[in-house]
Structure 1
Amino acid sequence: MKNVTFTAFISAMALGASLAVAQTITPTRVGPVSQYGQLMTGKNSSGKGQIYGSCEGVKDGAEVQVRGMSLYWSLMPQALEFWSEEGIATMVNDMKIQIVRAAMATGDEDWKGEWNGIQLKGYAVDPKNQKQFMKTVVEAAIKNDIYVIIDWHSHKANQQTDAAKNFFKEMAQTYGQYDNVIFEVFNEPEKISWSDVKNYANQVIEVIRQYSDNLILVGNPEWDQNPSAAIGNEVNDSKNNTAYTLHYYANSHNWEGTYNWGGESEGLKGEKAMNAGLSVFVSEWGTANSNGGGDPNQGRNQSWQEYLNKHKLSWANWSASYISEGTAAFQGGSNKTSLQYTTSGNLVKGYLSTNPESYTKCPTGEQGQGQQGEGQQGEGQHGTAAFFSAPEFGLNISLTGKTLHVSAPQAATVEIFNTLGNKLFAIDHVRGELSLATLPVGRYMVRVRSGSATTMRAIAIK
C-alpha cells in the first residue's frame, strides 16, 4: 500500500483546493514551454550536469537550452517600459525570446525614477508595486508560453532572508504550478562565503518547496563567477531541482583557460561544475564590460556563444532596456511596442534568430523517460487501464480504474495535472497503490518521480 504522511496528504489537498479557485492563465500560443515542459536538472550518461524538460525527461540528446532577455532593475522608466504585457509580447515576436528574467529590486533602492506616477523604490520600501511589476511580467510570460525567471535581484540577499522567504512564498503559491516559472533566489552574492550563500538559499528553497517543485537558481560568491564552489557542498533541495548560476560580461571575463595571475577563468569554473554533475544556468550575461559600459567586442562575444552552445547552457542577456549603457539592447526611441536596437541589441538579436520559428506541443502520450515501445502504452482503450514505465530505472507505473500502481526502487513523488498543465496536487513517499478516486471524471496528466527516474503520461478517470 502507499506510504503517504498525513502532513503531505493534507498539504497536497490544500494545494489542490487553492488551485481549484485560482484564476487559470491560458497561453495564447504554442511556445517553448508547451514543447519542453517544466525545466529540470539532471545528468547525462557521462555524469555531466545539464538542464532537461519534463516532456522528454532526462536522457542524452534531450538537453534543453532556452535563450532570451533579462529586464533591467525595476527602478527606472527606461526599464519599466518593458515590464509590461506589451513589452514581453514584442520581444517574443521581434526577438524570438524563449525566456525573460524579471530583475526585481529588493532593498531600499531609490534612484529617483518615476513610472506612471509611481516613485520607483525597492521592495523593502514599496513591496506592493514591486510585486505588481513582477506579476505583470510573469503573467505575460505565461500567456506567451515562454519561461520566466522570478529574480530576487540583490547583492545582499543573505541580509534579507525573512523578506525573501515571504516574497517567494507568495510567488510559489500563486505561480508555482506553472511550468513557465523559475525561481532565482539570490542574484549575485558579493565577496561572501559559499556557506553564507548556502545557508540563506536553504531557507528560501524550503519555503518554495512547500508549494512548487519548479527549477530554482542559486547564485555563488563574487557575482556568480564561482559555480564550482558548490561542488560536493550543494544546497538542500527536497526535489533535487536546483541549478547554479554563472554570470559573465564578454569584455571582462574569459570562457576558457586561466588568468595571468593564476586564477581560473569563469568559463572553466562553470565547466568544472557541470563535469561534477551540477547543472548550470547563465541567468545574466552582457556583451560588453562588467559595469554595463563599453562597446561589445564581437570576437569575444562569439567565443562565449560557442561556449554556451557547446555546453547547452540557457541564458538571459542583460538588458532589455534603453538605459544609457553599452549593454542595453534598445535605443532611446524604443517603446513597449516598437524596438530600435543598439549595437548590443543587434548582436543579441542575431544570436536569438536561430531560436525556432514555431513549436510543437509535447505529445502527452510520449512524455517522460524514453519513448513508447514494447510493454509501454499510453491511455488504455477505455480509459480504465494503462501501463507506462522507465524500466531501465526500475520504475513501473500502471493505472487500473481509479487506482495508480507504483513500483519503484524507492518511494516516489506523484503529481497530477489538469489538461491545461496546471498542477492539482502532489503527494510524496508513495509506494504501491495510490487512490485517485477524489478526481472528477476527466483527463489528466500524471508525473511520477523516483530517484533519477521520471515518467509522465496521460490518464483518463471515468
Structure 2
Amino acid sequence: MHWTRAWIGLGALCLISLTLPAAAQPAGSPVANHGALSVKNGQIVDQHGDSFVMRGMSLFWSQWAPQYYTGETIDWLAKDWQVDVVRAAIAAEGNDGARQHFDREFDKASRVIDAAVANGLYVIVDWHAHHAFPDEAEKFLTAIARKYGHLPNLIYETWNEPLRDGVDWSRDVKPYHLQVIGAIRAIDPDNLVIAGSPSWSQDVDVAANDPLPFSNAAYTLHYYAGTHKQGLRDKADAALGKGLALLVTEFGTVDSTGDGPLDRAESERWWDWAERNCIGWMAWSIGDRDESSASLKPGTAVADWSENDLTESGKLLRQKLRSAAERKAACNGPSASIR
C-alpha cells in the first residue's frame, strides 16, 4: 500500500501526525494493476519495477470548459475511451483562474481526482500556466498534496509550458521547480512529479544538462503534430540519451495553434516514437471549443458521446486509446526494457 504522513494543526497548541491509507482501487483498473509510480533508470515504472506507459486525455483549460470537470466525464473516459490517466488543466493564466479563484478551481481539481480514484485511474493535476507564479503554484499544489498525497493515483505537473523568449532553464525554470517541488516533497515525498521546460516544454535536452535533484521526477514534452516534427524528436532523443524520464502530458494531432487540419501521418510518427521509447501520452483535449484540437463538437454533453459528437481528432484519439487497451500496451510489464 502507498502511505504518506500528513500533519494537521490543532489550534495553536500542537501538531498531530496521521497516517492515511490509500483508497481501495477497483479490481483490474490501471492503479490496481500498477500501483504507485516512480522513476528508474530514465523511465517511469510501476510498483513492480516494470516499465509503465500510461495513455489518456487532458481536459481543456478549467476556466473555459468547466462542465467537463465532472465525475460523469471521467467515468465515460474510463469506460468508453479506456484511458489510464486524465489530466486536469487547472488554469493559472489571466484574471479568471486559480490565482484569483482558489476555492473554485480547487473544487474542480478535487472532482476530477475523486472520479479518477473511483475508476482506478491516474490523475495529473497540472498547474496550467505559461508565466511563472511560483508562490501561487506552491499554495495550490501543496493543498492538493495535503488532501490527496497519500493516494498512488496522484501526479503533479508543476508548470505546464514556460515560454521561450527570455526564459532560461537554469536561471528561471529550475529555481521555480526547486521551490514548488520542494514544497510538495515536504508533504508528499513519493508521488510522481512532472516538470516543464522552456519553449513550451520542448527544451528537454537543455534540462537534461542540469537536471532537478528530486527522486521520482520526470519531464514533460509537448508537441503538436502539424508543427513539431523530427527536429523535436531529436531533442527528445538527446534528453533520453542523458537519462531523463519523459512523459507527453500534452500533444495535439493538428498544428500548434490548436486548429488546422489533422496531420495523421505525423501523428503516427509521434505515436511510433513514443512506443519505441515506452513513453506515455495525454492528448489535448476534452473540450468543445470550435477548433480542430478539441475532441468534442461544440455543445456536446458531459458524457455518453456518440461518434457524431466527436471531431475527427476525437475519433482518432478514442480509437488509439481503445486499441492500446485491447493489446495491453507492449511497453507495459516485465518484458519491457529499462534503459
For the aligned pair, the TM-score class normalised by the smaller chain equals: 0.7 to 0.9
Q: Quick check: 1:174 aligned with 2:147? A: yes
Match of 1:183 among 144, 150, 156: 156
**Counterpart for residue 63 of structure 1:** 51
Kindly indicate whether the alpha-carbon contact (under 8 Å) linking 1:320 and 1:330 is maintained by their aligned counterparts in 2: yes
**Counterpart for residue 145 of structure 1:** 120
Note the C-alpha offset of 1:315. 0.7
Q: Secondary structure at the residue paired with 1:102?
A: strand
Counterparts in 2 of 1:333 and 1:162: CA distance versus 1, 3 Å: closer
Q: Quick check: 1:324 aligned with 2:317? A: no
- For 1:165 and 1:297, locate their aligned partners in 2 and report how far apart those are by CA, in whole Å: 37
- For 1:293 and 1:225, locate their aligned partners in 2 and report how far apart those are by CA, in whole Å: 20
Q: Quick check: 1:312 aligned with 2:278? A: yes
Match of 2:213 among 215, 236, 252: 236
**Counterpart for residue 351 of structure 1:** 320
Kindly indicate whether the alpha-carbon contact (under 8 Å) linking 2:25 and 2:31 is maintained by their aligned counterparts in 1: no
Amino acid in the other structure paired with 2:198: P
Note the C-alpha offset of 1:29. 4.6
Q: TM-score, normalised by structure 1?
A: 0.65
Q: TM-score, normalised by structure 2?
A: 0.87
Note the C-alpha offset of 1:26. 4.0
Q: Quick check: 1:83 aligned with 2:56? A: no
* Stretches of 4+ aligned residues off by more than 4 angstroms: 11-16
Q: Secondary structure at the residue paired with 1:18?
A: strand
1:236-256 Cα offsets, whole Å, 9 max, x none, are 31xx111011100000001x3
- For 1:297 and 1:13, locate their aligned partners in 2 and report how far apart those are by CA, in whole Å: 46
Q: Secondary structure at the residue paired with 2:324?
A: coil
Q: Quick check: 1:226 aligned with 2:238? A: no
Q: Quick check: 1:18 aligned with 2:11? A: no
Bigger drift between 340-349 and 27-36 goes to 27-36
Note the C-alpha offset of 1:14. 4.2
Q: Secondary structure at the residue paired with 2:68?
A: coil
Kindly indicate whether the alpha-carbon contact (under 8 Å) linking 2:37 and 2:152 is maintained by their aligned counterparts in 1: yes
Amino acid in the other structure paired with 2:146: Q
Q: Which runs of 5+ in 1 are unaligned?
A: 1-10, 44-48, 110-120, 257-264, 360-368, 371-462
Aligned counterparts, 1:374-453, within 5 A? none
Match of 1:100 among 68, 76, 86: 86
Amino acid in the other structure paired with 1:299: A
Amino acid in the other structure paired with 1:149: I
Note the C-alpha offset of 1:107. 3.6
- For 1:206 and 1:303, locate their aligned partners in 2 and report how far apart those are by CA, in whole Å: 36
Q: Secondary structure at the residue paired with 2:127?
A: strand
1:67-104 Cα offsets, whole Å, 9 max, x none, are 0000000122xx22221001000111111111100001
Note the C-alpha offset of 1:214. 0.6
What root-mean-square deviation, in Å, do the aligned CA atoms of Structure 1 and Structure 2 show? Answer: 2.1
Aligned counterparts, 1:274-293, within 5 A? 274-293=240-259
Note the C-alpha offset of 1:297. 1.4
Note the C-alpha offset of 1:333. 4.6
Kindly indicate whether the alpha-carbon contact (under 8 Å) linking 2:93 and 2:130 is maintained by their aligned counterparts in 1: no
Q: Secondary structure at the residue paired with 1:284?
A: strand
1:366-412 Cα offsets, whole Å, 9 max, x none, are xxx99xxxxxxxxxxxxxxxxxxxxxxxxxxxxxxxxxxxxxxxxxx
1:262-285 Cα offsets, whole Å, 9 max, x none, are xxx111111111111110110000
Tell which has more relative contact order, 1 or 2 (C-alpha 8 A, sep 6+): 2
Kindly indicate whether the alpha-carbon contact (under 8 Å) linking 2:23 and 2:151 is maintained by their aligned counterparts in 1: no
Note the C-alpha offset of 1:337. 2.2
Match of 1:161 among 131, 134, 144: 134
**Counterpart for residue 435 of structure 1:** none
Kindly indicate whether the alpha-carbon contact (under 8 Å) linking 1:107 and 1:125 is maintained by their aligned counterparts in 2: no
- For 1:306 and 1:228, locate their aligned partners in 2 and report how far apart those are by CA, in whole Å: 20
Note the C-alpha offset of 1:355. 3.0
**Normalized per residue, which structure has more helix?**
2
- For 1:155 and 1:86, locate their aligned partners in 2 and report how far apart those are by CA, in whole Å: 29
Amino acid in the other structure paired with 1:233: D
Q: Which runs of 5+ in 2 are unaligned?
A: 9-15, 329-333
Q: Secondary structure at the residue paired with 1:356?
A: helix
- For 1:276 and 1:236, locate their aligned partners in 2 and report how far apart those are by CA, in whole Å: 15
Note the C-alpha offset of 1:332. 2.6
**Counterpart for residue 174 of structure 2:** 198
Amino acid in the other structure paired with 1:302: E
Q: Secondary structure at the residue paired with 2:274?
A: helix
- For 1:105 and 1:131, locate their aligned partners in 2 and report how far apart those are by CA, in whole Å: 11
**Identical aligned residues as a percent:** 32
Q: Quick check: 1:214 aligned with 2:186? A: no
- For 1:306 and 1:141, locate their aligned partners in 2 and report how far apart those are by CA, in whole Å: 27
1:85-128 Cα offsets, whole Å, 9 max, x none, are 0100011111111110000111443xxxxxxxxxxx21121111
Aligned counterparts, 1:100-119, within 5 A? 100-109=86-95
**Counterpart for residue 126 of structure 1:** 101
**Counterpart for residue 43 of structure 2:** 50
- Tell me which structure has the larger Cα radius of gyration: 1
Note the C-alpha offset of 1:319. 0.3
Match of 2:60 among 62, 65, 72: 72
- For 1:324 and 1:102, locate their aligned partners in 2 and report how far apart those are by CA, in whole Å: 20
Aligned counterparts, 1:251-262, within 5 A? 251-254=226-229, 256=230
Kindly indicate whether the alpha-carbon contact (under 8 Å) linking 1:29 and 1:143 is maintained by their aligned counterparts in 2: no
- For 2:295 and 2:6, locate their aligned partners in 1 and report how far apart those are by CA, in whole Å: 45
Amino acid in the other structure paired with 2:54: V
- For 1:281 and 1:175, locate their aligned partners in 2 and report how far apart those are by CA, in whole Å: 21
Amino acid in the other structure paired with 1:286: G
Q: Secondary structure at the residue paired with 2:174?
A: helix
